């Protein structure tokens, strides 16, 4: 053994010596041979003009080439090509882990809390954490995806409880017991309550004169001392009052704004995004992506208990999945194939105790649900009862896309085809336990405004109006959308490129899986009265499954870009496009268009000034036809759903003109004009398909007679029609000039300034029109119009640290002061136009969008608008009863206060290793703790009872919020 060792040792040592010697010699002359014998041999030199012609190549270049080969390692089979697998962060795992923390400890007291006397901060606990990682897929001994298969994965979780401040008006402690001796109107004048039980005709009424205190049509006795006697209080109402919160503050004016709450909402969310890319070969790429999010949102409670009228709490899920294949058939032809699906779901959480039958507990009969009904009290009181006690919404879609791009001479042609199939499975009754309204009219003097009280009417148990939603089955909506698109990018000549495109969109109407769909047809005769307007049903009597026609729309698009005067620093672009909307699978009302299969009975007082529709003691009436009721008359007497069946779809047009100019100091300026025109936009309340005409207003007080009033409708067997937010009738037009100055990073500064000057007009942003037959009158500034807006985004990298101007020497000071950067966002947004409205609307509900009158000769503006007086309310007046107002829908020059937002972020990066660093982020939102004023009160009362707040701004909102972040970047 010893011999063997000795025998082998000498030759091995000699061999080692030779190898090391040879290597070192190679290194010393900079030879092209690999340093490591494990590396494959270098490839043969590529033929070059120099060496193919027999001349020696330039020696330095050859040295460089040799080094290139050494560095690149083995070529592939083709001899000259290869992949640098080990180089680059693309082949290692990269990503970040992060945590963002917010806590009220760091924040300022919100202005809205401080103004209400609050001295403590609202609860705020928020943790947002997650990670993102991406890199090649590698499974030891099984698969090495470097250069082929890559993944990325993100997870984010949120845990938060954030209190929000609310201010409401609730009855005072006395009023809760029926004592309204403290009741005042909006001007602070005592308000008398009248006993509806004493209503009687006034024998001295003179019909030739207007109704006034000395000429009443009906007489009523006032409650002695403005106190409702104990025995008159409804037992159910008294019991329900116990669920209602008590006043806890006195903001005013008078008895208004007397209840405030800082109520937390809680959100617990978890979400992931994953992506996988795989290169099948040089020509084919396959991508898979999936994201999903789920969580639970507990909405803020306006008050605790089953009567809470805040938004419902719910569980939610959403996500999508896509598979895409890109096939590069040749350098000039690329195909794309894509399949995808997405889903969204929301399920309500029970409010109160699900086991308790609340209507039974409160002795309220006729309710088709165990949930508590909703109670609305006229006079801006907070409502009582759950907003939407139960819902389950699940919607999803499948989509497929195929596209090809072909390059041919001066043309690039693109063809795309896309098909989408939508599904929405919904169970979402709006008011399953009923919604009951208590108006002021029953405790006031009939014919006189500014009398009575909604909560007093409630205590008497006298319901003015009620509605109920009875949904027997979920609705399973479906529809399909197909889009075929072709476009050509044509390089006309140097400096000029023309883009022309056209789309054909095929939109199919929605269907219901079990054909549980209906609408009122104005072409059918109602068997009950022989008049036009009857309920029709999908899939019955020769009707198709869809109640609308399939539409095919043509959408052109054209744009031109050029460098004027061959100046490459300037680019001009012009463009025009026209787009149609498609049918929407569900509107705002999830069971819209299911009458007969479901029911939505409406109970309206025969005369809301004189008598209730029912009392709490009697319970909700059962005098309606229960579903299913597939009869043409099933919707008679209701507010039926009306599906527009003429195939008209909303149109949006846009035209643009822009000039971009490169400026010195790495800046660029762009001026862009954008014109917008929209017609036949989806609206809800603008169009009143079964409206009262304004010409009926002279009927005056008679219009309070429900039977008489409804007989005046075009389709008297129905009340107003529900349009589900899907009636194509709205118009808008807008113009905007946007100036954008970009400063690219130099000297550590990077930023963008955008100023926008715009005007947007429409006829539907206020909802109900004043005159349904004269929509031209509605044409005015959009409620969302903003004339001026300015935003500034900036980043400044402090000039200290590695690769920066100062302290770049790696010293301890450099570690402390290096790698800081400051970012900021400032935006200033002008106010929206004000909509001036009368305080009272005495038109017997004929006019939904009643306007104020403009007082001639009185300037509505004030010299220095302040919160105390933002505009001059004397420039407006309450119109007389049963007359229209003459002021514009929105005022052309009066606007709300502008809003400012200033956010700042300070980031410090610390390098841990060459590939890993730590980042601390401090973000301050509204860092100057600036308060933005609320909108002014625009309700104008009559001279006899003016609105004391008209023209004033009550309060402001805002407060500095801090967020701390920690990120590990690798």
127 is a contact residue toward another protein (CB under 8 A): no
**Segment 543 to 562, residues that bind another protein, using CB under 8 A:** 561-562
Decide whether 328 or 425 has the Cβ nearer to another protein.
328
- Which has the closest alpha carbon to 580: 517, 524, 502, 639? 502
61 is a contact residue toward another protein (CB under 8 A): yes
Among residues 629, 705, 771, 919, the one that binds another protein under rule CB under 8 A: 919
67 is a contact residue toward another protein (CB under 8 A): yes
Q: How many CB atoms lie within 10 A of CB 12?
A: 11
Binding mask 33-52 for another protein (x = CB under 8 A): ----------x--xxxxx-x
CA distances (Å), origin 945, targets 185, 190, 446, 475: 7, 11, 17, 49
Among residues 144, 742, 777, 935, the one that binds another protein under rule CB under 8 A: 742
Closest contact distance (angstroms) between CB of 497 and another protein is 6
154 is a contact residue toward another protein (CB under 8 A): yes
Segment near another protein (CB under 8 A); pick from 176-184, 186-194, 605-613, 739-747: 739-747
Identify the residue whose tokens are 């984010």: 156
The pair phi, psi for residue 718, each rounded to 5°, is -125, 165
802 is a contact residue toward another protein (CB under 8 A): yes
Decide whether 149 or 883 has the Cβ nearer to another protein.
149
Segment near another protein (CB under 8 A); pick from 67-75, 371-379, 517-525, 936-944: 67-75
Binding mask 402-441 for another protein (x = CB under 8 A): ---xxx----x-----------------------------
Tokens in use for 15? 């061999």
Closest contact distance (angstroms) between CB of 58 and another protein is 5
**Segment 86 to 105, residues that bind another protein, using CB under 8 A:** 87-91, 94-95, 100, 102
907 is a contact residue toward another protein (CB under 8 A): yes
Binding mask 844-863 for another protein (x = CB under 8 A): --------------------
961 is a contact residue toward another protein (CB under 8 A): yes
What's the sign of the alpha-carbon dihedral 422, 427, 428, 431?
A: positive
Closest contact distance (angstroms) between CB of 889 and another protein is 31
Among residues 138, 297, 473, 625, the one that binds another protein under rule CB under 8 A: 297
Among residues 318, 674, 929, 932, the one that binds another protein under rule CB under 8 A: 318
Query: Are 731 and 762 contacting, i.e. CB atoms less than 8 angstroms apart?
Result: yes
**Segment 219 to 248, residues that bind another protein, using CB under 8 A:** none
* Three-state helix/strand/coil letters over 849-883: CCCCEECCCCCCCCCCCCCCCCCCHHHEECCCCCC
Distance in angstroms (rounded) separating the CA atoms of residues 835 and 191: 28
Sequential DSSP letters for 871-932: S-GGGEEPPPTT----S-SS-SS-B---EEEEEEEEEEEEESSSS-EEEEEEEEETTT-PPE
State the Rg of the chain over Cα. 37
**Segment 616 to 645, residues that bind another protein, using CB under 8 A:** none
CA distances (Å), origin 494, targets 332, 470, 487, 489, 644: 21, 67, 20, 13, 50
Decide whether 737 or 862 has the Cβ nearer to another protein.
737
CA dihedral 541, 542, 545, 551 (to 10 degrees): -140
Query: Are 309 and 351 contacting, i.e. CB atoms less than 8 angstroms apart?
Result: no
25 is a contact residue toward another protein (CB under 8 A): yes
Closest contact distance (angstroms) between CB of 71 and another protein is 5
Decide whether 341 or 883 has the Cβ nearer to another protein.
341
Binding mask 818-847 for another protein (x = CB under 8 A): -x-x-x-x----------------------
Among residues 496, 525, 813, 858, the one that binds another protein under rule CB under 8 A: 496
Distance in angstroms (rounded) separating the CA atoms of residues 490 and 484: 20
Identify the residue whose tokens are 């004592």: 179
Decide whether 714 or 965 has the Cβ nearer to another protein.
965
Distance in angstroms (rounded) separating the CA atoms of residues 793 and 754: 9
Segment near another protein (CB under 8 A); pick from 154-162, 550-558, 592-600, 686-694: 154-162
Decide whether 50 or 201 has the Cβ nearer to another protein.
50
Among residues 66, 515, 652, 771, the one that binds another protein under rule CB under 8 A: 66
Closest contact distance (angstroms) between CB of 565 and another protein is 13
Cα angle 428-681-723, degrees, rounded to a multiple of 5: 40
Closest contact distance (angstroms) between CB of 337 and another protein is 14
Size of the site for another protein (CB under 8 A): 147
On the question of a cis peptide bond just before residue 525, with omega within 30 degrees of 0, the verdict is no
Segment near another protein (CB under 8 A); pick from 446-454, 604-612, 631-639, 914-922: 914-922
- Which has the closest alpha carbon to 873: 770, 943, 955, 769? 943
**Segment 921 to 960, residues that bind another protein, using CB under 8 A:** 921, 923, 925
Among residues 8, 41, 85, 143, the one that binds another protein under rule CB under 8 A: 85
4 is a contact residue toward another protein (CB under 8 A): no
Q: Reduce the DSSP state of residue 836 to 3 states and report it.
A: coil
Segment near another protein (CB under 8 A); pick from 68-76, 234-242, 472-480, 874-882: 68-76
Decide whether 305 or 965 has the Cβ nearer to another protein.
965
Cβ-count burial 655-679 (b if 16+ within 10 Å, e if not): bbebebeeeeeeebebebebebebe
Closest contact distance (angstroms) between CB of 594 and another protein is 28
Among residues 205, 288, 316, 699, the one that binds another protein under rule CB under 8 A: 316
328 is a contact residue toward another protein (CB under 8 A): yes
Closest contact distance (angstroms) between CB of 136 and another protein is 9
Decide whether 192 or 318 has the Cβ nearer to another protein.
318
Query: Are 518 and 595 contacting, i.e. CB atoms less than 8 angstroms apart?
Result: yes
Distance in angstroms (rounded) separating the CA atoms of residues 236 and 360: 10
Decide whether 201 or 410 has the Cβ nearer to another protein.
410
- Which has the closest alpha carbon to 455: 840, 837, 182, 252? 182
What's the sign of the alpha-carbon dihedral 454, 457, 459, 465?
A: negative
Q: Reduce the DSSP state of residue 621 to 3 states and report it.
A: coil
């Amino acid at each position: 053994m010893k011999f063997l060792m000795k025998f082998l040792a000498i030759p091995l040592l000699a061999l080692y010596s030779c190898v090391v010697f040879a290597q070192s010699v190679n290194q010393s002359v900079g030879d092209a041979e690999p340093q490591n014998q494990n590396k494959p041999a270098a490839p043969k030199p590529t033929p070059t003009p120099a060496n193919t012609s027999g001349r020696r190549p330039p020696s330095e270049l050859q040295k460089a080439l040799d080094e290139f080969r050494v560095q690149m390692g083995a070529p592939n089979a083709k001899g000259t090509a290869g992949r640098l697998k080990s180089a680059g962060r693309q082949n290692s795992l990269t990503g970040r882990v992060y945590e963002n923390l917010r806590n009220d400890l760091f924040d300022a007291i919100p202005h809205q809390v401080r103004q209400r006397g609050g001295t403590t901060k609202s609860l705020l606990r928020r943790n947002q954490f997650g990670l993102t990682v991406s890199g090649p897929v590698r499974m030891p001994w099984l698969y090495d995806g470097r250069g082929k298969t890559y993944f990325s994965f993100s997870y984010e979780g949120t845990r938060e409880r954030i209190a929000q401040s609310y201010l409401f008006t609730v009855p005072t402690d006395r009023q809760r017991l029926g004592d309204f001796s403290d009741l005042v109107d909006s001007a602070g004048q005592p308000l008398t309550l009248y006993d509806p039980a004493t209503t009687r005709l006034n024998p001295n009424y003179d019909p030739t004169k207007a109704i006034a205190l000395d000429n009443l049509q009906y007489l009523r006795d006032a409650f002695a001392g403005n106190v409702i006697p104990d025995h008159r209080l409804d037992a159910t109402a008294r019991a329900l009052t116990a669920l209602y919160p008590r006043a806890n503050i006195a903001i005013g004016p008078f008895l208004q704004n007397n209840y405030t709450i800082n109520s937390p909402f809680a959100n617990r969310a978890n979400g992931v995004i994953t992506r996988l890319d795989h290169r099948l070969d040089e020509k084919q790429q396959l991508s898979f992506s999936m994201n999903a999010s789920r969580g639970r949102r507990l909405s803020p409670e306006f008050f605790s208990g089953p009567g809470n009228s805040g938004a419902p709490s719910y569980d939610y899920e959403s996500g999508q999945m896509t598979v895409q294949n890109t096939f590069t058939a040749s350098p000039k032809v690329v195909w794309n194939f894509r399949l995808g699906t997405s889903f969204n779901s929301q399920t309500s959480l029970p409010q109160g105790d699900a086991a308790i039958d609340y209507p039974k507990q409160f002795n309220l009969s006729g309710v088709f649900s165990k949930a508590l009904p909703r109670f609305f009290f006229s006079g801006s009181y907070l409502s009582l009862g759950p907003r939407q006690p139960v819902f389950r919404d699940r919607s999803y879609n499948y989509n497929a896309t195929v596209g090809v791009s072909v390059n041919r001479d001066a043309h690039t042609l693109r063809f795309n085809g896309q098909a989408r199939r939508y599904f929405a499975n919904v169970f979402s009754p709006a008011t399953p336990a009923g919604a009951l309204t208590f108006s002021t009219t029953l405790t006031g003097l009939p014919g006189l405004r500014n009398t009575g009280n909604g909560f007093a009417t409630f205590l008497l148990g006298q319901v003015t109006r009620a509605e109920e939603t009875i949904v027997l089955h979920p609705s399973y909506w479906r529809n399909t959308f197909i889009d075929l698109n072709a476009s050509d990018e044509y390089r006309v000549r140097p400096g000029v490129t023309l883009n022309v495109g056209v789309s054909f969109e095929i939109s199919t109407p929605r269907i219901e899986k079990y054909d549980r769909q209906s609408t009122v047809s104005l072409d059918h005769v109602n068997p009950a009265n022989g008049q036009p307007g009857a309920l029709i049903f999908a899939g019955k009597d020769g009707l198709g499954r869809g109640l609308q026609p399939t539409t095919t729309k043509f959408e052109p698009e054209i744009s031109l870009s050029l460098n004027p005067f061959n100046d490459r620093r300037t680019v001009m672009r012009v463009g025009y496009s026209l787009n149609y909307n498609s049918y929407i699978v569900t509107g705002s009302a999830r069971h819209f268009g299911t009458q007969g299969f479901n029911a939505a009975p409406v109970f309206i007082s025969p005369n809301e000034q004189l008598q209730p529709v029912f009392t709490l003691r009697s319970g909700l009436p059962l005098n309606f036809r229960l579903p299913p009721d597939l009869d043409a008359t099933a919707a008679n007497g209701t507010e039926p759903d009306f599906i527009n069946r003429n195939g008209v779809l909303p149109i949006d047009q846009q035209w643009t003109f822009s000039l971009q100019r490169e400026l010195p100091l790495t800046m660029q300026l762009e001026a862009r004009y954008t014109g917008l025109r929209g017609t036949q936009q989806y609206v809800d309340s603008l169009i009143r398909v079964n409206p009262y005409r304004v010409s009926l207003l002279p009927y005056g007080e008679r219009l309070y007679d429900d039977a008489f009033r409804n007989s005046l409708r075009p389709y008297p067997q129905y009340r107003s029609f529900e349009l589900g937010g899907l009636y194509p009738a709205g118009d808008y037009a807008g113009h905007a000039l946007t100036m954008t100055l970009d400063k690219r990073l130099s000297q550590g500064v990077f930023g963008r300034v955008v100023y926008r000057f715009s005007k947007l007009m429409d006829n539907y942003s206020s909802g109900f029109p004043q005159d349904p037959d004269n929509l031209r009158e509605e044409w005015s500034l959009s409620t969302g119009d903003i004339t001026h807006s300015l935003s500034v985004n900036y980043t400044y990298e402090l000039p200290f640290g590695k690769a920066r101007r100062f302290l770049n020497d790696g010293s301890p000071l450099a570690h402390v002061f290096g790698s800081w950067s400051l970012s900021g966002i400032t935006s200033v947004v002008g106010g929206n136009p004000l909509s001036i409205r009368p305080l009272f609307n005495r038109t017997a509900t004929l006019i939904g969008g009643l306007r104020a009158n403009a007082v001639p000769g009185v300037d509505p503006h004030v010299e220095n608008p302040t919160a105390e007086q933002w505009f001059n309310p004397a420039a407006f007046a309450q119109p007389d009863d049963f007359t229209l107002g003459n002021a514009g829908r929105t005022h052309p020059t009066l606007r709300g206060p502008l809003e400012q937002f200033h956010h700042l972020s300070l980031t410090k990066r610390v390098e841990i290793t060459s590939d890993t660093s730590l980042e601390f982020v401090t973000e301050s939102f509204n860092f100057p703790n600036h308060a933005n004023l609320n909108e002014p009160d625009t309700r104008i009362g009559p001279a006899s009872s003016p609105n004391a707040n008209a023209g004033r701004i009550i309060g402001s909102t805002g407060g500095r919020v801090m967020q701390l972040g920690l990120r590990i970047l690798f």
